[in-house]
Amino acid sequence: MNAKLFGALAAFGLAACATTSGPTTSWGKQGVSMLDYQTDGILCATLAQKAESTNGANSAGGISGRNAGGTGLPTTSTSSTGAAPSGGGGLPTVGGGIYRESASGDFANRAAMQQRQVEMQRLKARTDALHSCLTDRGYTEFHLTSDERAALAKLPEGSEERRKFLYNLGTNPEVLKNASTR
């Protein structure tokens, strides 16, 4: 998975902020060579891939240690002797049926939402790391026009033509000069 993500980021060169219809922005730097453009793109993509938003402390099974309300799992009571109640047969007589020790729906929903939040935090950390890395190297982000997006959509992802197209845009002084107004 990491190799595929790394390959995709490197193949896009310095294009960023992808949506379902393709990237809406790219990055450029006046006077940069094609080799440095590609090298910086790969380096920043690698650093972004390794960026993490949190250290994962107090997390187990998708629920962090922040919730003081317990797990939401039912517990069985014991008798005063410490033994499980007996009611004939090998199963306890606690109500709730066969799924009585399953997590509650609320618990499952909280775990799913917390997992989604962690994934979104990681994505934001990676995006921030990519932007920071490129900015630190002197690159400027610019919006692609609708014509540029249409031309880019015709070029196969990872192709040399696509890289050259983005490089030519990213090194064009007029494009970079108007980056904030595009």
Least confident of 14-23, 100-109, 156-165: 14-23
Interhelix angle 146-153/160-170, rounded to 10 degrees, is 160
Q: Give CA separation, 159 vs 1, 53, 166, in Å.
A: 21, 32, 11
Q: Residue range 131-140: average pLDDT? A: 95
Please report whether residue 87 resides in a domain.
no
Please report whether residue 121 resides in a domain.
yes
DSSP assignment of 51-86: --S---TTEETTEETT-TT--S-------TTSSPP-
* Closest C-alpha to 15, from 122, 143, 129: 143
Side-chain-side CA neighbours of residue 45 (13 Å): 23
Query: How much is the pTM?
Result: 0.60
Which residues sit opposite 18 in a β-bridge? Answer: 23
Q: What pLDDT does residue 46 have?
A: 93
Please report whether residue 39 resides in a domain.
yes
Please report whether residue 69 resides in a domain.
no
- Cα diameter, the chain: 85
Q: What pLDDT does residue 167 have?
A: 96
**Between these two residues, 136 and 17, which has the higher pLDDT value?**
136
Please report whether residue 70 resides in a domain.
no
Q: Each residue of 89-105: pLDDT tens digit? A: 555 555 666 766 777 77
pLDDT grade, residue 173 (50/70/90)? very high
Please report whether residue 62 resides in a domain.
no
**Between these two residues, 112 and 98, which has the higher pLDDT value?**
112
**Between these two residues, 75 and 24, which has the higher pLDDT value?**
24
Domain that holds residue 134: 2-54+102-177
Please report whether residue 144 resides in a domain.
yes
User: How many domains is the chain built from?
Assistant: 1
Q: What pLDDT does residue 51 have?
A: 82
Q: Each residue of 162-172: pLDDT tens digit? A: 999 999 999 99
